[in-house]
Amino acid sequence: MSDDQAFDPDAVAGAVDDSDVMDDWAAAMAEQEVAESAAAEVRPASNLFQDLSGGQAAQSVPQNLDMILDIPVQLTVELGRTKIAIRNLLQLAQGSVVELDGLAGEPMDVLVNGCLIAQGEVVVVNDRFGIRLTDIITPVERIRRLQK
């Protein structure tokens, strides 16, 4: 088509036969039916992963925890926290008092590897400080706190 000629959509529409369009449509529908029937025949692979829900696989997993009992973890008892400017930090000397956000008599947090697992109160036994656990955080509550 030259630049002098204008595009005529009616001329193109007349050139395309309706039977050709219907044949193409029927071929596409037949191709879709073949693809759908092939997809219906596909079965998931069985025994691809080990079944851990019960039975023999669950019995093969050791029920005791002896292999991890000697792994060290960091236990921290937190009395409170505060933010302090570097200027004030450098002025601290022996006998200085740093105010914490925890209140006297308030339970202290017990953390394992930085994760809160319990709360407790300070006790003194044979001139040594210790902590008496007063509240154990449940696993569900620990997960809820992680999401916040």
38-82 tens-digit pLDDT: 666 656 666 656 665 555 544 555 567 778 888 899 999 988 889
**pTM of the complete model beyond 0.75:** no
Q: pLDDT above 90 covers what percent of the chain? A: 21
CA 41 to chain centroid, in Å, comes to 35
Residue 82: closest CA among 72, 94, 97, 93:
97
Say whether 133 sits in a helix, a strand or coil: strand
Distance CA 100, CA 115 (A): 20
Q: What is the mean pLDDT of residues 9-35?
A: 67
CATH for 66-147 is 2.30.330.10
Strand partners, 135: 119
pLDDT of 57: 47
Compute the average pLDDT of residues 22-36: 77
Calculate the dihedral angle through the C-alpha atoms of 44, 49, 53, 57, rounding to the nearest 10 degrees: 140
